[in-house]
Amino acid sequence: MSGLLSRIVVGAVALPLVLGVVYVGGWVLVALAAIAAVIALHELFWMARTLRPVVLAGYLGALASIVGAGFGEITWAFGGLLLTLPLAFLFKGVAGTRQTTTVSVGVTVLGAAWVGLGLAYAVLLRQIPENGRLAIFTVLLAVFAADMAAYFAGVLFGRHKLAPSVSPGKTWEGFVAGAVAAVFVTWIALYKTGFVDGWRSLVLGGVIALAGPLGDLFESALKRDMDVKDSGRLLAAHGGMLDRLDAPLFAVVAAYYVVAAFDQL
């Protein structure tokens, strides 16, 4: 199966499933976020295995953050994340690995914060009274549209490298096409809804357009550090779970605070 066909098939199966769970929301969404977090962290910790991450502490901290968000409280989400640090230090001492505490504990907390807290914000965004479903759908669809537009524009018209030292495949042409797609989808989704609509939807779309690629580049930088091409092969040509979550993990956090800035929480 070609890479393009594989992307289409996996997307056609996975996207409706994810959107269906998001539509239901509640603890069903928390469960999906928890499963995604465990898989993504497994991929991250496998990539960074030479740094000796404290895997159990990372899993527990990320899951505690997501469950905390499930109770609808951002403070509980952060509280769950903060468990990672003492647990990582404790388990590192028990394990007695040769890697330094700074590196071992540092990469563990990074994973829990990046993946766990990012998915916790997706849960929190979905829980916005009355407009949570609209908010999370808008972000996910905008990120998906931006990703597809950037991919095809890069393949067809890409000439100028966006960040050659980090991700040689990404181009400015793809970035511009993705940004236009993200802003357009956000505007269409929120047009005259009374929720972050009008010019505010353009601001939200612009933030998503910037945050998504930053998340993608962040993961690309980590993979380059670890000398791996993809985080995994779970999703065929899409790569691993982390390869699919990289942009949304940044976008949902940024979107949450834009919505908060417009006093719509």
Report the predicted TM-score, pTM, of the whole model to 2 decimal places: 0.91
pLDDT grade, residue 32 (50/70/90)? very high
Instruction: Report the pLDDT value the prediction gives residue 39, as an integer from 0 to 100.
Output: 95
Check if the beta carbon of residue 88 is closer than 8 Å to that of residue 57. yes
- Which sequence spans correspond to the domains of the chain? 1-127, 131-265
35-44, 155-164, 195-204: segment of lowest average pLDDT: 155-164
199-232 pLDDT per residue, tens: 999 999 999 999 999 999 999 999 989 888 777 6
Strands (E), the chain: 161-163, 167-171
**Residue 96 CB burial class (10 angstroms; 0-12, 13-18, ≥19):** exposed
pLDDT grade, residue 1 (50/70/90)? very low
Instruction: Report the pLDDT value the prediction gives residue 15, as an integer from 0 to 100.
Output: 78
Tokens of 243: 């390869």
| Residues sharing a CB contact under 8 Å with residue 139, sequence separation 6 or more, in sequence order | 125, 208, 248, 251, 252, 255
Instruction: Report the pLDDT value the prediction gives residue 179, as an integer from 0 to 100.
Output: 97
Specify the amino acid at residue 226: M
Check if the beta carbon of residue 53 is closer than 8 Å to that of residue 111. yes
Q: For residues 232 and 239, what is the distance between their CA atoms, to the nearest angstrom?
A: 5
Instruction: Report the pLDDT value the prediction gives residue 232, as an integer from 0 to 100.
Output: 60
